[in-house]
Amino acid sequence: MSDYIFLSQFNYKAQNLFGPFQVTKTLFYNKTVIYSQQKYFYRIQFNPIATVKSIEETDLYLYGIQSNRINSYFKLINLIQQNKHLHCICLTHDEGEAILDTFEQNGVDYNPNFQKKRLIGDSVDINSKYIWDKNKLGKKYCFSSESDLESYIIISLKCAQSKVYGNVNKLLNKYQNNDFKFSEIYNQFIFGNAYPSDMVILNENNINVFELKKDKLTNNNIPQIEKEIKKHLYYSLFSNRINSNQIKKFNFYLIFLKNKDNEQFKWLILERFNRLCNKINTLRENNITFVEYDVKNDNLILEEL
């Protein structure tokens, strides 16, 4: 089944959610100007599942009381309020079900008065080939941005026959009970704090955080990497969104461009990782894996350093 989407409108005038909608076309590129001052050309297409309904923020709170889950719904309201600063966020299965249940119980039919705009010109599907060509990987052999590297990996993971899927599954299987087919993929703010993670692969036994760097390791990027390790280590300990206190293994994967100089910086980062882990080692097992990416024979290769 395609993903569900809810639209939020939280400002000083109103605090409403609209939906539920269902994705009918995944990410594509089209240059039609929909909003006069906002030119977002990377888009998805979605339609109402049935009739469009609206709920207020207080409807979520009320249904939390009625269903005897007020603590969970209160945290969900906080997440949605935070989202007005982030623009979009991935919901967990439980969060999505909670909002759907509220629409079913308290949703009011909503008939917006708007003019539907038709897309003009060609629309290009955003797939691995598009990102490959956009980054000219046949000539440059490295990504232009970390967001493109992230997108390429996530899109490739949708195909079990891809080289990337096999590489990632091999990296996961370094640790016990960590097979990709029993996992879910998230990105950005899954730990519930206003600090993004590039990619998180979760299952019942492991939290796998992937931090991506488009370039090789250098002295200059080590302080930033240490900061990212620290935040992911600590914020993931007691995340209410994923019940992370029940997961006893944290695996941090640092991915960077293949280069002969990486080896010397690996040991500096490992020393800092171990120092940070010493403060929380009694709470769970923490691991780090260093991974180089390489563009070879028209494939993206991910291999442990």
Tens digits of residue pLDDT in 258-280: 999 999 999 999 999 999 999 88
224 lies in some domain? yes
HSE of 78 in the Cβ direction (CA atoms, 13 Å)? 11
| Per-residue pLDDT, 86 | 61
Query: Which position has the token pair 């001052």?
Result: 37
Q: What percent of the chain has pLDDT over 70?
A: 97
Beta bridge partners of 281: none
Claim to verify: residue 101 and residue 207 sit in the same structural domain: no
Q: What are the pLDDT digits (tens) for 201-242?
A: 999 999 999 999 999 999 999 999 999 999 999 999 988 888
Q: Which two tokens stand for residue 298?
A: 């028209």
If you ran DSSP here, which 8-state letter would residue 68 be given? T
Q: What are the pLDDT digits (tens) for 89-104?
A: 888 899 999 999 999 9
User: Which residues are CB-neighbours of 85 under 8 A, at least 6 positions away?
Assistant: 194
Q: What are the pLDDT digits (tens) for 154-167?
A: 999 999 999 999 99
114 lies in some domain? no
> Cα dist. 298→50, 134, 146, 157, 295 in Å?
43, 14, 19, 16, 7
Claim to verify: residue 207 and residue 245 sit in the same structural domain: yes
Q: Which two tokens stand for residue 261?
A: 């100089």
Q: What's the chain's average pLDDT? A: 90
Last residue of a domain, one of 82, 109, 136: 109
Claim to verify: residue 23 and residue 143 sit in the same structural domain: no
Distance CA 57, CA 83 (A): 13
115 lies in some domain? no
Mean pLDDT, residues 6-27 taken together: 88
Q: How many domains does the chain have?
A: 2
| Per-residue pLDDT, 243 | 84
Residue 46 belongs to domain spanning: 4-109
Domain with residue 203: its CATH number is 3.40.1350
